[in-house]
Structure 1
Amino acid sequence: MMVRTVLLAGCLFCLRPAVVQAGMPSVSLDLTQVAQLRLQSISFFLMVLLLSAFILKLCWNLLAKDFSKLPRISYKGALGVSVLWGLMFLFVLTMISGARELLTPGAWEKTGRTYQLVEDQPPDGAQSAESGASVDERRRKLGELRSALFMHVATHQGKFPDKADETTFADEFWLQPGSLQVKYGYVSGTKKADPPVPLAFEQAIYGDDQQLILYTDGAIKVLPTPKAQDVLNGK
């Protein structure tokens, strides 16, 4: 009788409608979205690094079976080699970025963690309606030609090319900015001199009574067109 009473009471209790609260407390970090992305990036980087070290250890020890003089490597050693290789690649990429900036000064700007080409935004009043090139853009483009010419000097026993068509770099460096696709002028047979003499110059096609001249010491001067013509004629 007692057992039946207990069973009946249990069934009635189970059938009684009630709100049941269940669950286990959890501990989590309340991070911002930026912090979560950084944490995910770091964890992914560590996972790739550890996995690369494990793969390197397997490949190295497989080769060690065929080459008796090749010592076996531990996981700690493989991890150290992976980190060292990563630092070497980072150094090489940094050198490549530096060389790119030297060859095209001012052509790249930092956007976040990467670099992109600077968009042409000529200042007001400094743009030629005929060619679509500002003075700043013309100076930057002539600076690229300067870098290419001085790179040629560094690889040709300190000598400038005798003629423009004897250079080893791309013909794009000789094109002036703008829609007309005009090439820079070049003073043939120019050598380093003191005082500096004109080396290259832009054609007067912009209609603003200004002309840029590159000198043998690397200086770029903006001169009025009549004065620039006198300088180029040796007057």
Structure 2
Amino acid sequence: MMVRTVLLAGCVSFFWTGPVQAGMPSVSLDLTDIAQLRLQSISFFLMVLLLSALILKLCWNLLAKDFPKLPRISYKGALGVSVLWGLMFLFVLTMISGARELLTPGAWEKSGRTYRLVEDKQPDDASLAAETTLDERRRKLGELRSALFMHVATHQGKFPGKADETTFAKEFWLQPGPLQARYGYVAGDKQADPSEPLAFEQAIYGDDQQLILFTDGAIKVLPTTKAQDVLNGK
């Protein structure tokens, strides 16, 4: 019966004229890049787990030779102990992360699969200048007014022709804020009457407001466009 089957198969193969495909069969899976990375991560994790269990078994049984009361462990038992230790460490790390977030809320941000400290964003000079209040600006310009009128009292009732001709400290010319901008000064001989622009602040605060000091001692808050018109004599 076996001989007949082999002969029949040989005859069929001999008279078969259809095309025959040769080559070794192969099985391949078309995976995306993310899926390949995940598969590699899982395989690496399993390899480390199995290798750790093997090392644990060898170390345990080697130690059991010196301690007869210590039972020997199988590879299956070592694998279970490795998994149990891994879960315990994962639980401890999760508790530490939770306590860290409770003690310092908002101090950590996610970066990939880990967390990192949130970097303190230092505000730029423009934002710091915008935080300078209008009252502080008015007070600082008032100090310059006092210094200028002190100059008038000691110089025959005349304002200085230029800002460099003043005898008081240069700090009076500095505007409040981190930019350390200098007040502008309208040069020329001036009298208190009629009232004319005397000094003005640079428009660096971003609020569309500009303070101008007049020769009669008044400090006016004007929109930036109107302040430019006043300074230009319009």
* Both structures adopt the same fold (TM-score exceeding 0.5): no
Structure-1-length-normalised TM-score: 0.45
Structure-2-length-normalised TM-score: 0.45
